[in-house]
Chain A
Amino acid sequence: MHSLGSIVEKVRSKNAGPFIITIDIFCKREPVYKKIKTKLTTKFLYKHLNVVEGSMKIYHVDNLKVVKISVDRFFTQGSRFDRDIHGAQLANLISELMVE
């Protein structure tokens, strides 16, 4: 088994405003891009990221071979129970997914 992070070029996450975190998976190679696109469905990600249904959108950016996941924050950025003001550590959860 390999982690997603070990087969793609880069995974990053960041705030897209105070209410959404957006995750970019740069796949670099076409076969990897195809595999990741198939693997990362909303159903699978709701469970893996432990977020409520309906709070996520997945985009496929073919020219960059990027899978982009935008997810509503469970806690608004900087509110009392938020643990990561910039949302950049969430990428690790995706990176550590076992995919093959």
Chain B
Amino acid sequence: MSTKVLVPSGVLGLGFSKKALEKGLKRNPDIICIDGGSTDSGPFYLGTGTTKYSEEVCKKEWRILMQARARLKIPLMIGSCGTCGTNSMVDWMFQITSQIAKDLGQNLKIIRVYCERKKDDLFNAFESNTIKPLNPVLSVSDEEIETFSNIVALAGAEVFQKAISQKGDIILVGRATDTAIISALPLLNEESNAASWHGAKIAECGAFCSTNPQSGVILLEVDKHGFTVEAMSEDAFCSPESVSAHMLYENSNPFLLYEPGGCLDVSNAEYQSINRRQVRVTGSKWLPNKEYSVKLEAAKLAGFQTIMLATIREKYYVDNVAQWAEKLEKLGTEKVISNLRLNENEFDIDVRIIGHNATLGNQEKSFPKHLTEVGILVIVTAVAQKIATEIASILNPYLLHLPLQENTELPTFSFPFSPASIDKGALYEFALNHIEILKDPLQGFDFLVNEVNYA
């Protein structure tokens, strides 16, 4: 016996080959699993409880997956709904699902699982010492917790398993580990623990473990001894190298993967090619923890921003741009302090030189002698949008006309648009790097079951 998991792509909204999906469906998978999010696009999405991907594209892809599910009568699961996995994004996926069910005339049992934590839960957990910091350690004060906009816990496999046991046709889960979505059913069917987690890690980005990442669709077959991973697209191949290399991807330790409830150790894993598309993997180990813990994520409001962009083509200023930028930042700061009566720690003026070190900052090593032009990106951060906007207005004439030497003709640089500044809105920052020890794997995860009947 074995358990077959069809993974259409690394994330809903990223696209997959319909032909490859069709091929996967012919192999009679037991479940279709897809990830819906990640922290990879930054803290804004968790901060605001919104999605990064286009709603229309998500709808289009989800519709195809709902049709596939109905044909095979197997569960369809998504974790980390809407990029950040907040409650609002679980409900967003529910709205999309209900609308498509209506369009397609489907009867469905839809299970939603909410993963948010309240600030009070967090205070209590810190007090009862059930929250532990991860490395690198991030200190968290009570005042800071007050600025958190959303807090989520990453669901483990048990959360998905409960929803599967409740016979959900479509299971929509908030923030979860990428692997828990995929490992849940194999674990429930008592396939090898290690192979369930390891296979899930390999398949979590869809066809990223193959030679053609964009083709999306991967079939994972897990049994009592190991797993086989297979690329579904005609032009995608899996080799021991492509598959084992995925263990390195976005994972700081190439041998260990920490998950709720334990740790996967792939130090002694063996990868064997069956044919050009299939790789068989055995030999990994699952090391269960005594305590069950889940990772927490939070985003805090860290200010409001206004940005400005200018470009410089004049050779003298291009050649001396680092010195000029320093002068702009220093003079700008002085003008803001004197005009707005702000303290230096109440705002930031960050001048980044595009063409110089805008990408790597003080890590940059390469400075060619002659550049044709440079861009000046100014990022203003303040406690309120009104103040950030005001600071940008104070900076505006200097960004346009600041001379490097006294008593010289005023230069006029290039502004690419009018107005020269853009209010960027709220700035959010990730604010937790912690785990919470739970009494049981379902603690704090709320289930909501709905039946929709449109057939």
Contacts and interface: CB of A to CB of B under 8 A. Distances in A.
Contacts of A49: 363
Contacts of A2: none
A14 B249 CA distance: 8
B197 interface: no
A55 B136 contact: yes
Contacts of B138: 19, 76
Interface in B129-149: 135-136, 138
B40, B249, B427, most chain A CB atoms within 10 A: B40
B250 A84 contact: no
A72 B303 CA distance: 24
A20 to B, nearest CB: 5
A49 B361 CA distance: 11
Contact of B244 (A57, A59, A63): A63
Contact of B360 (A14, A70, A89): A89
Contacts of B40: 15, 86
A15 B305 CA distance: 24
A7 interface: no
A17 B248 contact: no
A70 B252 contact: yes
A66 B254 contact: yes
Given A14-B250, A55-B136, A80 B241 contact: no
B245 interface: yes
Interface string B292-327: 000000000011010000000000000000000000
Interface size range of chain A in the complex = 35 or more
B54 interface: no
A38 B365 CA distance: 22
B254 A59 contact: yes
Nearest to A65: B241
Nearest to B357: A83
Given A15-B250, A16-B250, A77-B42, A59 B381 contact: no
Given A79-B430, A84-B359, A96-B365, 14 more contacts: A16-B252, A18-B43, A18-B430, A20-B136, A49-B363, A59-B255, A61-B254, A63-B244, A72-B135, A78-B42, A78-B43, A78-B430, A80-B302, A81-B350
10 contacts: A17-B250, A59-B255, A61-B254, A64-B244, A66-B248, A68-B254, A77-B430, A80-B350, A85-B42, A93-B363
Interface of A: 14-20, 22, 24, 26, 48-51, 55, 57, 59, 61, 63-64, 66, 68, 70, 72-73, 76-81, 83-86, 89-90, 92-93, 96
Interface of B: 39-44, 135-136, 138, 241, 244-245, 248-255, 302-303, 305, 348, 350, 352, 358-363, 365-366, 379, 381, 427-430, 433
